[in-house]
Amino acid sequence: MSLRLVLLLLFVGCPVWSLAQPIVWTGQADFLTIGDRVSILTDTTGNLTIGQVTSPAFQGRFRPSRQVIINVGFSDRIHWLRFSVDNPTPDKLLLEVAQAFLPITELYYQNEAGKTVRLTAGFRIPVDQKIRKHHYQVFPIPPGRHTYFVRLLAHSQPVPISLWEESAHEIKTYRQRLIYGFYLGFMFFVLLSNLFFFFSLRNRMYLFYAVVVLIYVSYSMAVLDGFIVYFVDGLDLTFWFITIPTIGVTVQTTYCLLFLEAGRYVPRISRVVWGVVIYFAAYAVLKYLLPMPLILAINTANALLSFFLMGFVGIKTGQKGNRLGYYFALAYCIYFLLVLTEATYVQTGKPAYFAELSHVTLATLIESFILSFLLSKRFEWERADIEKAKAEAQQQLLAKTLENEQLLLSQNELLELEVAQRTRDIEQKSTQLQQSLHELKTAQAQLIQHEKMASLGELTAGIAHEIQNPLNFVNNFSEVSIELVDELRVELMAGRLTDAVALSHDLAGNLQRISQNGNRAAGIVRGMLEHARTGSGDRQPTDLNSVADEYLRMAYRDLRTKDPSVAFVLHTSFDPQLEPVSVVAQDVARVMLNLYTNAFYALRDRQRQSDPATYQPTLWVSTERTADSMLFRVKDNGLGIPNEALNKVFLPFFTTKPTGQGVGLGLSLSYDIIKKGLGGDIRINTEVGQYTEVVFTIPLP
């Protein structure tokens, strides 16, 4: 077997580590972009190992990049990069994959001993645990000639790959961080100043603009440049990479409509764009159901649509007279031009980034300047418009004032004549009203006196009934005693002492009964005198339990005297803890008697309309001692009070009784006695056809 055949077999059977055309580092420049000098292999399964991709079987599957900045498009697949570097100089080299949003980045090469070396990076590794503390993926490159394989997952962002001399890279990194610090400082200054203006002036436009600036900062930190990894570890940048742009287009388009007052200037276009905003918001929520490549494509399309709509709305509102419209459209045209510049950079690597900021980050910075200027101009113009409107209004007001002054002068004489005539009419009507008022007061006094006399008549009838019973007993037993005396005289004259003694015992019993009933009548008279003595209006301690019970029995007996067929069930519950209350007893008794009379009337009224087998007229009377007052409660199961009459029952002369059975002053007087005389309260609870409950309270000292 010839030497050539042996070498061929060794080449086919061994991994391929030195097939690529080497990139020679000469040290004449600080860095070298190598994107167009690498070969790319797409791992469709995501399971290829370094051993497989370095085998001869995969040699022909790598394809030359031909792009200065690698761009794999909207993809969720693993890609392998292959290139060779020959560094004959003493320079220490670094490989920079200038993309912060790579979850997976692995570098493979064989060292001098032939052992495979694996270095890892990616945003899943905290910055302080990376080989090089950088937001990009940076790896050290050994001297000499080596073939390198890079395994990475890039969804859509461009992936610039460069070789850097180590010290030059450090200077570039410091410069990059310093410039980005200035960027963040300015953006946060704009953000905080707008929040300050919002809380000071209470103008919501400052708050909306602060939200827009916050979106810009988030977009730069977590989508474009990836500086957020210096502040927060463990963030899933892929999530924010697809989330922040969807929020951004929604917020920016909304701000455009509000800032330019599109609903006022172009209402039809405004309604259409609001529909697009709703679509943006819905997509922001539902996008997680879609595959990653489709999300990235739709995000790009939505961004272009948002730019177009904001420019279009700006131009249209400008045509309708909004001076801010053209400026707003110009601002987003500049933003869009820088986005196109970023797209050109992705394809050609030119123009280079200005001050280490991506073109889109620079666009957000310029946009913040322009929008801040427009926001200040908007309120400056608004103030000028307001001042102009005030001046015009003042001129109109002055002209109107002069016109009104002339009109007033011409009207004064006519008004004076009318006033004089009206004054005479009013004086005449006042005289008539005073006369009518006097007549009404006279009639009211007569009706009150009539009510008092009616109450007095009822009270007198009850008292007469109370005294009549003991007097009947006295008269009956007196007549029997006279007959017994005559019989006793006959027996004594006949000498029948035994019969005389028996008659004397009967006579003594009759005299005892006469004495008891006489004492009872005297007690009734004594009570009347006591009530008459309190009629002066002086308050005295009164046992309200006794008064309530006494007048209940008196009212019921009086009712039975008039109609013996009446048979009501009476329930009483008097609180034994209720001490004597300082009141005008006669006034409280009048209130109780009035409430009893009304309740009996309601019971008789329902009894006449109900079946005796199913209805039992019942009255409940109770007193209760509370912490600071005394409660008196009267409840009947009569017909109740209609709702339309409930608010009028305490008005003078209002009654639901037929003509001739009441003048409507009972409850009115009761209200005055309890509310005004005693400082208490009186209320009515009722349900038509079921019950009526009247409760009055008297405050206790």
Alpha-carbon dihedral angle through residues 204, 208, 211, 213, given to the nearest 10 degrees: -120
Q: Which two tokens stand for residue 440?
A: 């009404």
DSSP 159: B
Residue type, 171: I
Q: What is the pLDDT confidence band of residue 607, given thresholds at 50, 70 and 90?
A: confident
Percent of the chain topping pLDDT 70: 86
Checking if the pLDDT of 348 tops 70, the result is no
What is the average per-residue pLDDT within 90-112? 90
**Residue pLDDT, tens place only, 414-455:** 877 878 788 888 888 878 878 877 777 776 666 656 655 655
pLDDT for the residue numbered 535: 45
- Whether the CA torsion 632, 637, 643, 649 is positive or negative: it is negative
Q: How far apart are CA 287 and CA 301, in angstroms?
A: 14
Q: Which two tokens stand for residue 660?
A: 């001739």
What is the average per-residue pLDDT within 575-604? 89
Q: Which two tokens stand for residue 382?
A: 């608004």
Q: Which range (199-203, 311-315, 552-556) has the least confidence?
A: 199-203
pLDDT for the residue numbered 446: 67
What is the average per-residue pLDDT within 183-208? 81
pLDDT for the residue numbered 161: 92
Helix (H, G, I), strand (E, B) or coil at 108: strand
Q: How far apart are CA 697 and CA 691, in angstroms?
A: 20
| Cα–Cα distances in angstroms (integers) from residue 693 to residues 22, 548, 620, 690, in the given order | 108, 16, 9, 10
- The pTM of the full predicted model, rounded to 2 decimals, is 0.49
User: Given phi > 0 = left and psi -120 to 50 = alpha, else beta, which region is 233?
Assistant: beta
Q: How far apart are CA 95 and CA 614, in angstroms?
A: 105
Question: Please, are residues 59 and 147 in contact by the beta-carbon 8 Å criterion?
Answer: no
Average of per-residue pLDDT values in the chain:
81
Q: How far apart are CA 101 and CA 155, in angstroms?
A: 9
Give 220 or 264, the one with higher predicted confidence. Answer: 264
Q: How many CB atoms lie within 10 A of CB 332?
A: 25
Beta pairing partners, 541: 582
CA 47: distance to chain centroid?
54
Q: How many CB atoms lie within 10 A of CB 105?
A: 25
What is the pairing mode between strands 618-625 and 681-687?
A: unpaired
Helix (H, G, I), strand (E, B) or coil at 691: strand
Q: How far apart are CA 578 and CA 193, in angstroms?
A: 72
**Residue pLDDT, tens place only, 492-541:** 888 787 877 877 877 788 787 787 777 667 656 655 554 444 444 678 89
Q: How far apart are CA 650 and CA 57, in angstroms?
A: 109
**Residue pLDDT, tens place only, 631-650:** 999 999 988 888 888 888 88
